[in-house]
Amino acid sequence: MTPSLTELCATYCNRGFLTGVPALDPEELERATEGFSRLERDFGLEYAQYSLHNVHLKYRWVMSLTTHPKVLELIKGILGPNVILLDSRFICKYPNQQKSHEAACGQHNHGLPFVAWHQDIRYWGFEGGSVASVWLAMDDVDRENGVLQVIPGSHHQGLLPHITSPNPGNMLTANQEIQEHLLNTSEAVECPLQAGQMSVHDGLTVHGSEPNLSTRRRCGFVIRYVPTSAYPVKDPDRPRTFNATVLVSGVDEYHHFPNNAPNLQ
């Protein structure tokens, strides 16, 4: 039996994440993957790996993913009716067959892209409301090609200390990580997805992912949302600008963020 929205939101509140939630139907998925293939051709694979940031402001088909009814229904259930799209980014781990073979054989995997254990809120520093991050799968995602891993319930611990990662290949912009001795990594669970499904996790939920050791691409569209009540906390070490925020549901009575009108193609 398919869980109700109320049941899904209760699970999210308790565990800090959801996974395997249906989002795109086959036709919608085909349009999205065709659109992303055009971006790969236009910008190249190296750029497409992590630098397609906030392109919802430029491409209508990308903006339609951020406002997809199934995505927003779940997000509104989690955050409430008044929601701001904070940020979006395509993230791809492309296969590197030689390095993947070395890693699979137990040799070093230095330089293979991975995502260190972290909490999103460390980079986005908000009060007044939570951050909810959606991973919308463009490809099937499993252990072999670098599935998302989360530590259930870790959002109840609050913000944990982050250090500069000593390991090359970390895809996080700030190259930070939470040291494993602070975590119960034995409790980590994987979030496998079929293309067109989504996972959602809280901004305080500890998560990360291993390198892609397969011959398949692992691509997803990350979308971050906040309630309109949220506001950024000033951090002199990491000044932030918000030039891609869009009100996607309800009304904004607070005006903590600009409502940027997309110039869509």
CATH number of the CATH domain containing 73? 2.60.120.620
- Report yes or no on whether pTM surpasses 0.85: yes
Q: What is the spatial distance between Cα 241 and Cα 244, in angstroms, rounded to a whole number?
A: 9
> Could you tell me if residue 265 is inside a domain?
no
How far is CA 6 from each of CA 23, 61, 244, rounded to the nearest angstrom? Answer: 17, 29, 30
Asked if 17 contacts 156 with a C-beta cutoff of 8 angstroms, the reply is: no
| DSSP conformation class of 85 | E
- pLDDT (0 to 100) of residue 168: 66
Q: What is the spatial distance between Cα 134 and Cα 90, in angstroms, rounded to a whole number?
A: 11
How far is CA 184 from each of CA 9, 146, 150, 179, 256, rounded to the nearest angstrom? Answer: 24, 20, 11, 11, 36
Could you list the residue range(s) of the whole structural domain that residue 208 is in?
Answer: 5-249
> Could you tell me if residue 257 is inside a domain?
no
> Could you tell me if residue 15 is inside a domain?
yes
> Could you tell me if residue 263 is inside a domain?
no
Per residue of the chain (265 residues), give pLDDT as tens: 788 999 999 999 999 999 999 999 999 999 999 999 999 999 999 999 889 999 999 999 999 999 999 999 999 999 999 999 999 999 988 887 544 444 444 443 456 777 778 788 777 778 898 999 999 999 999 988 888 889 898 888 877 776 667 676 666 666 677 677 777 888 889 999 999 999 999 989 888 887 888 899 999 999 999 999 999 887 766 667 788 999 999 999 999 999 997 877 6
Q: Of 163, 251, 147, 161, which is closest to residue 207 (Cα–Cα)?
A: 147
Domain tally, the chain:
1
- pLDDT (0 to 100) of residue 132: 96
> Could you tell me if residue 215 is inside a domain?
yes
Helix locations, 26-115, DSSP H: 26-43, 45-50, 60-66, 69-79, 97-104
- pLDDT (0 to 100) of residue 162: 66
> Could you tell me if residue 181 is inside a domain?
yes
> Could you tell me if residue 254 is inside a domain?
no
